[in-house]
Chains A and B, each alone.
Chain A
Amino acid sequence: MDSKNALLQVKDLRTYFHTEDGIVKAVDGVTFDVYSGETLGIVGESGCGKSVTSLSVMRLLDEKGEIAGGKIIFEGRDVMAIPESQMMKIRGNDMAMIFQEPMTALNPVFTVGFQIMEAILLHQDVNKEQARTMAIDMLRKVGIPEPEKRVDEYPHELSGGMRQRAMIAMALSCNPKLLFADEPTTALDVTIQAQILELMKSLQEQYGMALVMITHDLGVIAEMAQRVVVMYAGKVVEYAEVLTLFKKPRHPYTWGLMNAIPKLDEDKEVLYNIPGVVPDPLDFPDGCRFNTRCPLATDKCRKEEPPLVEVEENHTSACWYVDKLVEMIKVSRAGEGA
């Protein structure tokens, strides 16, 4: 794909947080494109910088956070150069976001209708009556039964799934071109998760918006995304189309994440997990940041940082030993087959 037609281009984004203990490099050189109408998945463990990436693009970092480098280009405009007053018009109208915790992302003292109307009134030239009708319409679209009644209810009167639907209604009320969904189903039951994902898919088709799906769940990625960015410790480690990624993972971290998913036909006592934890962002290891947990790590990995290189068309990976990994995956899959 030609990156010139991209709705959003993120190039070598670096977001640092200045804390009392030092500089936290939450996002450290992240590059990806998002095209209209597609879904890009960003996957990784907690603390990999997935959410910070989306907050950076929307310029919603708190006072400690700072975009230290890179470029963000939305519809051909440099986001970092847009004045804040303009940015407010873009937020909600062109770019919107839905959050993980539907309970805390809705203001408890206002009705859901009021909050959806607030978003509509902010960006559209309509009066209160019209906004209310639109809010009810929106609630109906996201599959909330009896929207005329629900519109006057408070967040605590709705179930978790309903609240997330209301959140989605709020984010989509102004028909944004780009929607960030930050772990939108993590706080929900599995059955509700499936419903919400289905809903987001159909709304995406209806509105033609681009969706950036941030999650730690490869299952959600497989369900939703066309292309995937795998992040580890603030860096992109692998970037591929979704089928390619699942068929041919080319980074040990991606392979580890896939192995950690339990399979239905296997009877294991203990599930596989990647040994160790994400390193402290104040003190990343030298070389490849995954070297502390990687089964293939050598001295080279501990000294030199692997660049993100193309392993095949539209598939990049940042690993010194892609060949060894391919070999390992072959052996492992052959073992499963036997």
Chain B
Amino acid sequence: MAVKRKSEFRKIMKKYWKNGTAVLGTCLLVFFIIVAVFAPQIAGVNEMGNNYQIPRVSWSSKPIAPTSEHPFGVIGGRDIFYGVVWGTRTAFRLGLIITGFSALIGVAIGSISAYFGGWVDEILMRIVDIFLSIPFLVAAMVMTTILGKGLDKVIIALIIFGWMSTARLIRGNILQAREEQYVLAAKALGQKDWKIIMKHILPNTIFPVVVQMSMRIGSYVITAAGLSFLGVGAEPGYADWGTILSYSRNWMTMLNESWFAIVFPGTAMVLFVLAWNLVGDALRDIFDPRMRS
């Protein structure tokens, strides 16, 4: 039996590795993980204190082009290489925490809504509508302004305004799955209600959420960077890709002197988003047996 299972798993993995985009996504992700884990070895540590503060290397605000000492250059007196490398950790933290918590809230609210139906459903879905009616970025900006500066505040703001689409997705999926004949068939076999939910309804509804989550990890990093760029995100000097970008804001008219402050963190961001999207696609193929053939 174990042998059989293993061969099934191997079959999937074989297919996975044959899929070029999936391999590319995984490689990128592994690369980012390595960078995040070995950040102290790659970029060193901040001897002045907090490692997540990019150390000052110059007191002049003028950008300094890449040199062997500062391979990605310097902007606002901060070493961009250090910021990009340590920013990888920030990106993972942002993406995983925001997505994890907003998915948790979304799944809880969506399942409650679908399971109980009636007025509970009505109230919860109207709340979702209210939250959705506020433009996401504006809402997040207002929240961070109220809560104050700092990365943890950004995380809270994005969780508060990030759970609705998951709630809707899971609610719709559960409502659909509940009507499926295999649910009736399971009941006809004498299966218990909660087991039907756990075994038959959730597995058929949770995969789209997992796929959606992995794709959103990337997009949350972009949003958080956007907030930092607008000055309502992380504190100045924090090792965060958006923060580095925000330094380049004052030099936008002189791109020939400051391009490196945009290109390096920007590339990191694009590749990060790409990695999660490709992995999301691959996850869908793995999770859904219908996609395997």
Smallest CB gap from B201: residue in A:
A107
A109 in complex: contacting residue of B8, B184, B188, B203, CB < 8 Å: B203
Which of B50-58, B90-98, B285-293 forms contacts with chain A? B285-293
| Alpha-carbon distance A167/B200, docked complex (angstroms) | 16
* Residue picked from A93, A118, A132, A171, most chain B C-beta under 10 Å: A118
- CB of B145 within 8 A of chain A? no
Question: Does B31 make an interface contact (CB < 8 A)?
Answer: no
Considering the complex, which residues of chain B in the window 161-194 have a beta carbon less than 8 Å from any beta carbon of chain A?
180-182, 184-192
Q: CB within 8 Å of B: which of A166-214?
A: 167, 170-171
Q: A60 to B188, Cβ gap below 8 A?
A: yes
Q: Are B204 and A109 in contact (CB under 8 A)?
A: yes
Residues of the A chain whose Cβ atoms lie less than 8 Å from the Cβ of B288 = 109
Complex interface: chain B residues within 8 A of A108 (CB): 182, 204, 289-290
Docked complex: B193-248 residues within 8 A CB-CB of A: 199-200, 203-204, 207
CA gap between A109 and B207 in the complex, in Å: 10
A157 within 8 A of B: yes
A109 to B190 alpha-carbon distance, docked (Å): 20
Q: How far is the CA of A290 from the CA of B203 in the complex (A)?
A: 46
Residues in A with CB closer than 8 Å to B186 are 107, 118
Q: In the bound complex, how far is the Cα of B11 from the Cα of A152, in angstroms?
A: 13
Establish whether residues A152 and B8, one from each chain, have CB atoms under 8 Å apart when the complex forms: yes
- Size category of the B interface is 20 to 34
CB distance from B9 to the nearest CB of A (A): 12
Question: CA of A156 to CA of B184 in the docked complex: distance in angstroms?
Answer: 19
Quick one: CB contact mask for A49-82 with B, threshold 8 Å, 1 for yes?
0000000001010000000000000000000000
Chain B residues with Cβ below 8 Å from A132 are 1
Chain B residue nearest in CB terms to A55: B184
Contacts of B187 in A (CB 8 A): 60, 91
**Number of interchain pairs (Cβ within 8 Å):** 78
Inside 8 A of B180's CB, which chain A residues have their CB? 104, 107
Indicate if A88 sits at the interface (CB-CB under 8 A): yes
Also in contact, A152 and B189, with CB within 8 A (given A104-B180, A107-B200, A118-B199): no
B4: Cβ under 8 A from any A Cβ: yes
Partner of A58, one of B4, B188, B289: B188
CB distance from B174 to the nearest CB of A (A): 14
A108 to B181: give the CA distance in the assembly, Å.
11
Interface segment out of the listed A2-10, A95-103, A219-227: A95-103
**A65 → B minimal CB distance (Å):** 12
Place the interface of chain A in its size category.
Answer: 20 to 34
Taking the closest CB of chain A, its distance from the CB of B4, in whole angstroms, is: 6
> Counting CB contacts under 8 A, is A125 at the interface?
no
* Contacts of B256-293 to chain A: CB distance below 8 A: 288-290, 292-293
Q: Which residues of A contact B192 (CB under 8 A)?
A: 88
Q: Which of A104, A129, A156 meets B1, CB within 8 Å?
A: A129
Output the nearest chain B residue to A156 by Cβ-Cβ distance. Answer: B290
CB contacts (< 8 Å) of B181 on chain A: these are 99, 101, 104-105
Question: Per-residue 0/1 for A105-126: is the Cβ within 8 Å of any B Cβ (1 yes, 0 no)?
Answer: 1111110000000110011000
- Distance in angstroms from B51 CB to nearest chain A CB is 44
A105 to B8, CA, bound (A): 24
Taking A106-B182, A107-B200, A109-B288 as contacts, is the C-beta distance between A156 and B190 under 8 angstroms? no
Docked pose: A154 CA to B189 CA in angstroms: 19
Q: Please give, as numbers and ranges, the residues of chain B lying within 8 Å of A105 by CB-CB distance.
A: 181-182, 184-185
A152 to B292, CA, bound (A): 14
Q: What's the Cα separation between A132 and B1 when bound, in Å? A: 9
Q: What does the 1/0 interface line of A137-172 toward B look like (CB < 8 Å)?
A: 000000000000000101011000000000100110
- B65–chain A nearest beta-carbon distance, Å: 55
Smallest Cβ-Cβ distance to B185: which chain A residue: A105
A96 to B186, CA, bound (A): 10
Rounded to whole Å, the gap between the CB of B89 and the closest CB of chain A is 35
Task: A118 to B182: give the CA distance in the assembly, Å.
Answer: 13
**Alpha-carbon distance between A106 and B200 when the two chains are bound, in angstroms:** 10
Q: Shortest beta-carbon distance, B10 to chain A, in Å?
A: 13
Contact B189–A119 (Cβ < 8 Å): yes
Complex-state Cα separation, A99 to B185, whole angstroms: 8
A134 at the interface (CB under 8 A from B): no
Interface string of A256-288 (1 = CB under 8 A from B): 000000000000000000000000000000000
A107-B182 in contact (CB<8A): yes
Binding site for B on A (CB under 8 A): 58, 60, 87-93, 96-97, 99, 101, 104-110, 118-119, 122-123, 128-129, 132, 152, 154, 156-157, 167, 170-171
Interface pairs A-B: 7 shortest CB-CB = A92-B190, A92-B189, A91-B190, A104-B181, A97-B188, A107-B182, A105-B181
- Beyond A108-B204, A122-B190, A122-B191, 17 additional contacts (C-beta under 8 Å) are A88-B191, A88-B192, A89-B190, A91-B187, A91-B188, A92-B190, A99-B184, A104-B181, A104-B182, A105-B181, A107-B203, A109-B207, A109-B288, A118-B199, A123-B190, A154-B292, A157-B293
Offer 20 A-B interface pairs, CB within 8 angstroms, sorted by A: A88-B190, A89-B190, A91-B188, A91-B189, A92-B190, A93-B190, A96-B188, A97-B185, A99-B184, A104-B182, A105-B182, A109-B289, A118-B186, A118-B199, A122-B191, A128-B1, A132-B1, A154-B289, A154-B290, A170-B185
